[in-house]
Amino acid sequence: MENNSQKIFTNKAISVATFFGGPIAAGFLISKNYKVFGDENAARNSIFIGIISTVLLFAGIFMIPEHIIDKIPQALIPGIYTAIIAGLVEKLQGQKIKDFLSENGQKASNWQAAGYGLIGLLIIASFLFVMIFAIPTEGYEKNITVDKNVKLHYSKDIEDLKSERIASVIKQSGFMEGSEGADLFLNTEENFYRLKFVLPDTSVLSDTMLLTDFNGFENYLNYNLNFDKKIEIGFTDINLLNNFELKEIEIDNQQVYEPILYLQPYQINDFHKIYYNSSMPIEDVKKVENTVKRLRAYFPVNQRIDIVFLNTEPDYTIKFFVVKDLWQNDGVTKRLKSTVDYIKSNGVDKNINLVLIDNQTFEEKKI
């Protein structure tokens, strides 16, 4: 050998680096050996083959179904490719390594090889990170930022505008406030939208207080969004393989019209209040307020009258609490219709649907 000052990596050292750093680490060490042997072309090819082998290896692993991967011992796959590379090194460089060492050539330390293995491990980790976050999860091809640490992933079948509105309402609700980081997943299932939370611990499914919070949040979303299809909350594991439904917790409170528990309140005075959903422009809420203040005969200042005013795209919907016995009273319905007309004349450009709510049963009827 013309240059005995250079050190060679033995098959054992290369195997150590390969086990921890994969084929890419092996490619670098094999390349360094070829440089010592004076074969620059083989040195370049070794690095290229190491990179390609690493990509193919992990692409193949990604293609293996998760239920099969879970059953494979963690050390088996590294053990297999380490054995294969050790055999190749022995075949391609084994004799040259022996000749180099027999002519007083020096061996590179196993610690140095381990260092290359660590570098290979970091490269693989970076590659996997890019693979995981760059390739969209099937069924959740798009995403939108809800808040600083919260991201909503959604199906390509869901309109961007709807996803933006959902993200906006989630943020406005404050439900995810204080979260250190969360990914939510939204897709379409039959006649409803499914919003999934990642569930690292299934024991929370028996926590009644927590489930009550999620039930309330589900109601908040639906009453504030008023989509064509209901949003139902569910849970999934970190691999998005196992799904769990949200158990409904019945709230026994028949004395309150449930939607107003989740809508936004706008106080007109001590007796009059408007409840509106989050997508309703506040300017139009104020126009209803002006109508109430002007129609004092219809809205006495000493009588409690609540109004529900909703943005139900493409129209608005206004709901008044009226005893069911008066639903067929022409005088009452004409007065309410004239109130709606007056609201529109105050600058509300959209069509407004009129709905009556019974004060006792909360049954509804569209007029």
Same domain, 11 and 128: yes
Counting the structural domains of the chain, the total is: 3
pTM here is 0.64
d(CA 184, CA 312): 25
Domain contains 330: yes
- Residue at a domain's end among 112, 134, 156: 134
Domain contains 250: no
List pLDDT tens digits, range 233-258: 999 988 788 889 999 877 665 678 99
DSSP letter for 274, please.
Answer: E
Same domain, 191 and 239: yes
138, 144, 145, 146: CA torsion to nearest 10: -100
Same domain, 96 and 173: no
Same domain, 104 and 22: yes
Number of DSSP helices (H) and strands (E) in the chain, helices first: 9, 14
Same domain, 61 and 86: yes
What pLDDT is recorded for position 254?
61
Range with lowest mean pLDDT among 130-139, 168-177, 231-240, 304-313: 130-139
Q: Is the pLDDT assigned to residue 5 strictly greater than 60?
A: no
Same domain, 24 and 62: yes
- Residue at a domain's end among 74, 103, 134: 134
Strand-pairing partners, residue 245, are 234
- For the chain, state the CA radius of gyration: 34
Range of the domain at 305: 259-366
DSSP letter for 247, please.
Answer: P
Same domain, 16 and 112: yes
Domain contains 252: no
Greater pLDDT, 164 or 124? 164
Domain contains 331: yes
List pLDDT tens digits, range 35-56: 999 999 999 999 999 999 988 8
The phi and psi torsions of 365 (rounded to 5 degrees) equal: -145, 130
Same domain, 14 and 125: yes
Domain CATH code at residue 354: 3.30.300
- Residue at a domain's end among 245, 280, 302: 245
| Residues 6+ away with beta carbon under 8 Å from 129 | none
Q: Is the pLDDT assigned to residue 2 strictly greater than 60?
A: no
Domain CATH code at residue 232: 3.30.70
3-state secondary structure of 315: strand
Same domain, 110 and 179: no
Domain contains 2: no
CB 81 within 8 A of CB 23: yes
Domain contains 224: yes
Domain contains 253: no
Same domain, 129 and 18: yes
Greater pLDDT, 221 or 177? 221
Domain contains 57: yes
Same domain, 234 and 301: no
- The sign of the torsion formed by the CA atoms of 300, 301, 304, 306 equals positive
